[in-house]
């Protein structure tokens, strides 16, 4: 008897543990019996007509979700007939929200009759609607008088994977690649389907499966068959597959003597290769290209420009429904230049010269995914060329997998920034969704943070960044707070006090990180792997890969002068934006050192000098990680023990590393400021040499 009791307890404990694999698609039994009964009355069956594989996916997901949430099996029927009290899936003329270009993927969910109807003009839209209905149930929303209408504001909503053929991931912190290239196409991991489900639940409709620093091998017949196998898994979830391409591929694998985009043989090679791809993958999405950037070859190697290269690929795609995404992340190794200005200088002269199938993909800021950056001046300044925004979900510059940083505020800060190119209200979001300048092609991209770790993202809290990106890609008007609360309820707990507490941590987490990492507009103080603090770094293969290039600390002050007296990068913005940032007296503190070299003794709007304000930020930022720990400890009763322990451990590491960052900055900058550390803050217990040695030890790993 005792043995059976122990076995029961073991099974019960195992069932309780949550390893994070299910992400936000956790269909656990709803604890509130009354609410469960309310939902059950409206979900007695699922009716679906037609054999569209995407409709089948929608019905299957609803059936799985409802069975878990309600604790009962819900039948799927071919036709509702005279039945009532069920969910009807239909491809029909669903209402279009605001006449948006993505209306075909939009959906309506209504309960005006005895049934709930999920309708769309496409199977994909019905699938998105099915996930939206499940989200209503997971977050405890009422179904009475249900009437939801939603359409994506952006057409192409993509994840960009920086995955390589050897299973590594550039800037990946959650294990190895999801894609087991050595097994494909013969063996297809069931995890690929769950990846597709998770993306479809957010409305993500495209994925670039390989690194922008691309290997030409992905264009060989061997690898195209592997990619085609993934496309087969993704297709029933409305997800198209794209490839990053290596620009000199015609030379590397094609045997040509050149990759000149104007060479007839090169054009023919790309046309033939594109035809080969579409025979294997009829719904192939197109190409992503990193060219003439950080050593990657491109059209400039042949005296051509970015438009020449992009248009050559667009010509190859002309017979098909595919696009070219050409990255604007470019900068040359010039000690006298300002990397901030590089993309604008190379791309604005080409406005209007790109093919209609080309969209220029622009990082949210002008440097490189920093914890806080001004928006890229390209936005709004290429009215004849569609621009997409590229965000980084993986935490390359926000603490890897140990620091808890909720990134929705980063995404929102960029999207809500006003370019003023057509007057007040000309936000980056309106540029990207095409509504400001009439783009017919729109896209948004997020550099994925997924990996082979069982919980997908390494840090369980990093799942929220994937989730937030997807929700904002669908609707950029959603708030960071609402998205956080939604994710918590679907992933961690529905207990109201715990939801409020965790939401509070998430909303403060980015500012806490910035305070101990790069306050007041500091940027790029990294060691080579973009993790350890090394603000003293002065030697690298190129000047703009050093830390001193960006902060420009000296005996007078700190910061990069980008006004007319410096690099004049501010001139790339509209007059209204220049006015906001040009005056050191009125420049918002988050952007101060981005645009000004400020004296150490300069009194700021806080009433403190620059030096004292920096110290205050470094110290309070590091101390605030202790606050995060205290807040997290309070939600322990409401959180799965395995996830609670995982996050608790990471917060311990984050606190140690925050102090490391604080000490590195304070001790290094003090050698220039010659100022005492202000009260009540205590001098670091270690010396600058000891901190530098920590970085050296870290780099030996």
- Residues belonging to the active site: 294, 368, 396
Q: What is the 3-state secondary structure (H, E, C) of 527-588?
A: CCCCCCECCCCCCCCCHHHCCHHHHCCCCCEECCCCCCCCCCHHHHCCHHHHHHHHCCCCCC
Structure-token pair, residue 631:
């807040």
Q: Are strands 598-599 and 156-160 parallel, antiparallel or unpaired?
A: unpaired
CA angle 242, 244, 245 (to 5 degrees): 120
Q: Give the helix/strand (H/E) hosting 244.
A: strand 240-245
Say if residues 324 and 310 touch (Cβ distance below 8 Å).
yes
In the block, which residue shows the tokens 């290239």? Answer: 181
How long a stretch of residues is the chain? 701
User: CA-to-CA distance for 196 and 190, rounded, in angstroms?
Assistant: 10
Beta bridge mates, 76: 46
User: CA-to-CA distance for 599 and 612, rounded, in angstroms?
Assistant: 12
Say if residues 250 and 266 touch (Cβ distance below 8 Å).
yes
User: CA-to-CA distance for 69 and 29, rounded, in angstroms?
Assistant: 4
User: CA-to-CA distance for 286 and 318, rounded, in angstroms?
Assistant: 11
Structure-token pair, residue 305:
């420009």
User: CA-to-CA distance for 604 and 441, rounded, in angstroms?
Assistant: 44
3-state DSSP assignment of residue 685: coil
User: CA-to-CA distance for 168 and 455, rounded, in angstroms?
Assistant: 17
Rg from Cα positions in the chain:
26
User: CA-to-CA distance for 343 and 599, rounded, in angstroms?
Assistant: 30
Neighbouring CB atoms inside 10 A of 697's CB total: 10
Q: Give the helix/strand (H/E) hosting 287.
A: strand 286-289
Say if residues 442 and 154 touch (Cβ distance below 8 Å).
yes
Neighbouring CB atoms inside 10 A of 172's CB total: 28
User: CA-to-CA distance for 565 and 588, rounded, in angstroms?
Assistant: 19
3-state DSSP assignment of residue 464: helix
Structure-token pair, residue 197:
């489900």
């Amino acid at each position: 008897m005792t043995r059976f009791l122990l076995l029961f307890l073991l099974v019960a404990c195992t069932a309780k543990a949550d390893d994070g694999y299910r992400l936000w698609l956790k269909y656990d039994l709803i604890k509130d019996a009354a609410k469960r009964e309310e939902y059950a009355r409206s979900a007695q069956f699922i009716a679906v007509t037609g054999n569209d594989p995407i409709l089948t996916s929608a019905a299957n997901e609803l059936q799985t979700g409802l069975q878990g949430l309600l604790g009962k099996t819900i039948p799927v029927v071919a036709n509702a007939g005279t039945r009532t009290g069920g969910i009807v899936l239909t491809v029909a003329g669903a209402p279009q929200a605001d006449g948006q270009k993505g209306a075909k993927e939009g959906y309506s969910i209504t309960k005006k009759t005895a049934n709930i109807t999920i309708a769309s003009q496409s199977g994909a839209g019905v699938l998105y609607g099915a996930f939206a209905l499940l989200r209503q149930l997971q977050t405890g929303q009422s179904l009475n008088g249900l009437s939801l209408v939603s359409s994506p504001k952006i057409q192409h909503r993509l994840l960009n994977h920086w995955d390589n053929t050897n299973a590594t991931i550039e800037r990946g912190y959650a294990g190895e690649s999801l894609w087991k290239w050595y097994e494909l196409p013969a063996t297809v991991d069931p995890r690929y389907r769950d990846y597709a489900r998770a993306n479809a639940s957010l409305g993500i409709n495209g994925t670039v499966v390989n690194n922008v620093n691309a290997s030409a091998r992905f264009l060989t017949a061997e690898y195209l068959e592997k990619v085609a196998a993934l496309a087969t898994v993704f297709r029933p979830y409305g997800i198209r597959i794209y490839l990053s391409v290596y620009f000199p591929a015609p030379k590397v694998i094609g045997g040509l003597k050149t990759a000149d985009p104007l060479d007839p043989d090169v054009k023919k090679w790309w046309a033939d290769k594109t035809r080969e791809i579409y025979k294997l993958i009829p719904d192939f999405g197109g190409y992503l290209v990193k060219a003439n950037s950080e050593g990657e070859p491109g059209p400039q190697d042949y005296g051509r420009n970015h438009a020449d290269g992009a248009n050559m690929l667009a010509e190859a795609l002309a017979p098909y429904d595919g696009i070219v995404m050409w990255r604007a992340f470019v900068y040359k190794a010039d000690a006298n230049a300002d990397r901030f200005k590089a993309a604008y200088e190379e791309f604005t002269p080409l406005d209007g010269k790109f093919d209609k199938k080309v969209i220029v993909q622009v990082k949210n800021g002008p440097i490189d995914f920093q914890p806080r950056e001004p928006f890229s001046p390209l936005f709004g300044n290429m009215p004849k060329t569609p621009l997409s925004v590229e965000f980084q979900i993986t935490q390359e510059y926000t603490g890897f997998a140990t620091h808890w940083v909720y990134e929705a505020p980063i995404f929102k800060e960029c999207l809500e920034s006003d370019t003023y190119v057509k007057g007040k209200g000309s936000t980056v979001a309106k540029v990207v969704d095409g509504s400001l300048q009439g783009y017919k092609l729109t896209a948004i991209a997020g550099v994925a943070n997924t990996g082979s770790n069982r919980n997908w993202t390494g840090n369980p809290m990093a799942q929220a960044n994937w989730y937030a990106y997807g929700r904002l890609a669908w609707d950029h008007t959603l708030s960071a707070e609402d998205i956080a609360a939604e994710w918590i309820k679907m992933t961690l707990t529905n207990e109201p006090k715990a939801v409020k507490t965790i939401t509070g941590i998430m909303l403060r987490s980015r500012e806490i990180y910035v305070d101990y990492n790069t306050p007041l507009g500091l940027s790029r103080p990294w060691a080579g792997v973009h993790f350890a603090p090394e603000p003293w770094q002065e030697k690298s293969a190129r000047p703009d890969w050093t830390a001193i290039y960006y902060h420009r600390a000296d005996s007078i002050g700190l910061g990069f002068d980008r006004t007319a007296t410096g690099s004049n990068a501010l001139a790339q913005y509209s007059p209204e934006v220049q006015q906001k940032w040009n005056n050191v007296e009125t420049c918002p503190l988050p952007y101060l050192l981005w645009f000004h070299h400020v004296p150490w003794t300069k009194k700021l709007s806080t009433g403190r000098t620059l030096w004292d304000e920096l110290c205050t930020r470094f110290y309070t930022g590091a101390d605030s990680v202790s606050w995060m720990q205290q807040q997290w400890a309070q939600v322990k009763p409401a959180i799965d023990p395995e996830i609670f322990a995982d996050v608790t451990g990471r917060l311990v590491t984050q606190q140690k590393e925050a102090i490391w960052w604080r000490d590195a900055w304070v001790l290094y900058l003090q050698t220039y400021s010659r100022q005492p550390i202000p009260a009540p803050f205590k001098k670091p217990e270690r010396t600058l040499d000891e901190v530098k040695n920590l970085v050296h030890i870290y780099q030996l790993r």
